[in-house]
Amino acid sequence: MNYNLFIIRSPLQIINAYEAIDYFDLKNNILVTIDTKGLSNAEQISYLKSNDIKWEKEIRFGNTDQKSKSNFLQYIKLIKSLKEYKYDNIFIGDYGSIHKIILANLKSKNQYLLDDGTTTLLRHLQFKTDKTKSKFSLRTFRFKLFGLKTNTKQLLNYFSIFKLNPNFSEKVIMNNFDKLKTIHNIDSFTKDNCIYIMGQPLVETGYIKRDVYLDFITNIIKKYKNQKVVYLAHRSETLESIEEYENDFFTILKSSKPIELMFLEEKKYPEQIIGFTSAALFTFKILFPKSSILSIEITKEQFVQNYYIMELIYSHMKSQDIEFLTV
């Protein structure tokens, strides 16, 4: 019997895994969850595990304490255990060095990359320019000492919310969240007139300076001074400076789940969502097509590093009809 393997490590990846199972009508599925992104990430994954999906086998390992010892021997054990099965499809949510090693040692008919934010766009560009070849490192060489391969030449396909132009002969399958739409009957939702701002840890990741980020937030508040504005905090951002703005018209909302699910579970149809470069803008565009989905465009002068990433994301926003807000 052949299986389908899902290797995930974030809440968005588990949501996309369920969509893939529904889209491809997959049976005999194996789930591998890698916990390396902190406790809140692991808790969200546990919360999102659907009761209507029966996994033939579930493997969960890793450590939510990112300062803990290496998982190297666990990965060796994992790969050798997964080699016992034959696969029709393998779905991964990342394409880092460990995922390349896993794919290199497993045989399958198809391999797909699931979205984990806008990193999909960067991966797709890297494949096009042939920049994903593994370089020699002691970290990967250790796996060879255990008789494992470290490189794969198999073509990687995409199950994605992004409208990607295929490189070479790869397959790009659009993820339109049909399963979520069917479950929640979105057209029956109550209209929500609040203005929502999606926070993003752009300061914490070193892309822009804090005063620039705060200027954007301040200008949005001024622009919508007569309306209720809700700031949807990202779990990785620092909120001390933003909390100073809180009043009767501007509130901060910290959700313990992916923000799209908050709207779905509360049956709210947002009138307007404002963000920066978050992939959630793309998912909201798919789930709530009648909403006004707006991106704040950061100029090259306001950006600290790697502006080509922003340009890449902005070009895809334009191609998928996400509009831009000037503040």
What's the confidence (pLDDT) of residue 127?
A: 84
Position 132 pLDDT exceeds 60? no
Q: What's the pLDDT score for residue 131?
A: 53
d(C-alpha 60, C-alpha 7), whole Å: 10
Lowest mean pLDDT among 35-49, 117-131, 292-306, 307-321: 35-49
In 10 A of CB 54, how many CB atoms? 9
5 by Cβ neighbours in 10 Å (0-12 / 13-18 / 19+) ranks as: buried
1 or 274, greater pLDDT: 274
Dihedral pair phi/psi, residue 247, rounded to 5°: -160, -160
As a CATH number, domain 183-325 is 3.40.50.2000
In the chain, where the domains are located? 2-175, 183-325
User: Taking the model in full, what pTM does it have?
Assistant: 0.91
| Burial call 93-115: b when 16+ CB within 10 Å, e when fewer | bbbeebbbbbbbbbebebbbbbb
Average pLDDT score over residue span 224-228: 93
- pLDDT digit string, tens, across residues 38-62: 677 777 787 787 667 889 999 988 7
State the average pLDDT for the chain. 90
Q: Is residue 82 within 8 Å of residue 48, measured between CB atoms?
A: no
For residues 18 and 135, what is the distance between their CA atoms, to the nearest angstrom? 33
Q: Is 211 exposed, middle or buried (0-12, 13-18, 19+ CB in 10 A)?
A: exposed
The structure tokens listed for 326 are: 């000037």
Query: Dihedral sign, CA of 143, 149, 152, 154?
Result: negative
User: What does the alpha-carbon distance between residue 294 and residue 176 come to, in Å, rounded to a whole number?
Assistant: 19
pLDDT at 49: 76
Q: Which two tokens stand for residue 72?
A: 């190297």
pLDDT, residue 288, reads 97
**DSSP line for 113-125:** EEPBTBHHHHHHH
Instruction: Indicate the pairing of strand 57-62 with strand 323-325.
Output: unpaired
- For the cut 90, the answer to whether the pLDDT of residue 157 exceeds it is yes
Judge contact between 97 and 76, C-beta under 8 A.
no
Whether the CB-CB separation of 222 and 186 falls below 8 Å is answered with no
User: DSSP assignment of 238-270, as one string?
Assistant: --HHHHTT-SSSEEEEE-SS-HHHHHHHTTEEE
* Mean pLDDT across 209-220: 96
Stated as kind and residue range, the H or E segment containing 294 is strand 292-296
176 confidence band (pLDDT: 50, 70, 90): very high
Cα(260)–Cα(287) distance, rounded to whole angstroms? Answer: 8
For 181, the enclosing helix (H) or strand (E) is: helix 178-184
Which region, left, alpha or beta, applies to residue 139 given φ > 0 means left and ψ of -120 to 50 means alpha? alpha
